[in-house]
Structure 1
């Protein structure tokens, strides 16, 4: 086993990842990642960059990974394929299809939210960016500032959405941030949110905005 593969294994353990999770994060098949981790192949430069981004949390760790990659013995290893052999190509394609499906659903849901706002005749700005913080919709109702964050899949990283909402509220000086979801789910009630951050089903958006507009 090469020094490089040992360093990768150590960093994978530090980050608490499985091989399949790492494979999904860097865009390789699980088989290709396994060959890198076990020292049977070396990553291409583009894969090395993705490994650094996913596994390294400091400049010191980046230097360790680069030094191991350039160490003796690694240069003789075969390059890992960008896409695995035919047996794994179909699985790779399915993974990409699932990603595209989720992306399409997310875009469609944001358009549904925009249509609801258009029905209300409420002026809004979409995909507002300020100092690398972005919000899906920003509404200014008199002196009140409201941000809407669209969350199509309520069960995926909802806690991360709450943290994002806090950053948005702070950056944009919002009076209220709504995490808009397609439908009501009891899971949203279990989250520890402050009063200024609420989980809001799409069907309740009009009522909530009208109440905000009348305050």
Structure 2
């Protein structure tokens, strides 16, 4: 028997796969905060005292590469954060770090857009800051390249520019938690599954964007992502 719905369900969010007409269906989006020491410091944190932690975005926050999106509401301080994104083909609970990479389908470059003023206000009030991270169009992402093609990157330049001017630059080797460690730690909190995306953290240099700005990110050996804020 086919399920009946009271209205037509929305289309499932998905991401392009490089060299493949098929798309990667998105189940959930997880993100790692403060996973580069230099970024933790620029946010006023001690990376040695506070380990990285997790937050989420809704799956429909996904934005296709090279899209133009509206400037988000309720913010005067929208920040860019370039990140390596891990796409999972399998999951489970309490995954051993030694087999974590078996769960990885591939990798992409993504941008975690953040309403920094909302995040700061919520944090100072001791409230959740979901709305600073999980708003509409907050997860631009480039095409996924499979691990079969590129392997599992552990080093390489990660950078972002705005209107051609360099803003962020780091190296994947500077991640505090590696990809296997992230998958293992996250799977202790929730059961992971095929279709999950994990944004792994951002290097220092995060900063504000304005209407009309174009952000371009790239990760060596992985790919690129580009997003324009409408005027």
Give TM class, smaller chain.
under 0.3
| TM-score between the two structures when normalised by the length of structure 2 | 0.18
Query: Higher strand fraction: Structure 1 or Structure 2?
Result: 2
Structure with the bigger RCO (C-alpha within 8 Å, sep 6+) is 2
- The structure with the largest alpha-carbon Rg is 1
| TM-score between the two structures when normalised by the length of structure 1 | 0.19
